[in-house]
C-alpha cells in the first residue's frame, strides 16, 4: 500500500471502530484491526443486524443481505468498504 491508502485505511478503521462500539455498546478501545464477531458477546445475530444498519448509515453504503454473513470481522468489513471506495 502507498502512504495515501494506508492513511485512508487507518481513517476507515478508526471510524469503523466507533461505529462498532456504538452499535454493540462496547468500549472502542476493545476493538482492534483483527477483531472478529466471536470477540464480543453483543455481536450476536441481533447485534450483527444493528451493526449492518449502523454501517450503512455511517458510511453511506447499501449492504446486500447476502453480504451480511461475510461481514463478521473488522478485516472483512474494512475490505468490503475499501472495495466500494469508502475509507
What is the tens place of the pLDDT at every residue in 26-45? 999 999 999 999 999 999 99
Single pTM value for the model: 0.87
In the chain, the domains with their CATH numbers are 3-83 (1.10.1200.10)
pLDDT at 9: 57
| Alpha helix ranges (H) inside 1-87 | 3-24, 45-59, 74-83
CA angle, 65 as apex, 60 and 71 as ends, to 5°?
A: 75
Amino acid at each position: 500500500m502507498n502512504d495515501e491508502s494506508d492513511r485512508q485505511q487507518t481513517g476507515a478503521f478508526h471510524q469503523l471502530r466507533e461505529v462498532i462500539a456504538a452499535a454493540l455498546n462496547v468500549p472502542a478501545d476493545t476493538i482492534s484491526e483483527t477483531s472478529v464477531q466471536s470477540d464480543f458477546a453483543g455481536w450476536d445475530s441481533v447485534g450483527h443486524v444493528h451493526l449492518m444498519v449502523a454501517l450503512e448509515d455511517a458510511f453511506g453504503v447499501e449492504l446486500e443481505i447476502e453480504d451480511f454473513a461475510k461481514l463478521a470481522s473488522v478485516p472483512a468489513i474494512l475490505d468490503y468498504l475499501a472495495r466500494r471506495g469508502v475509507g
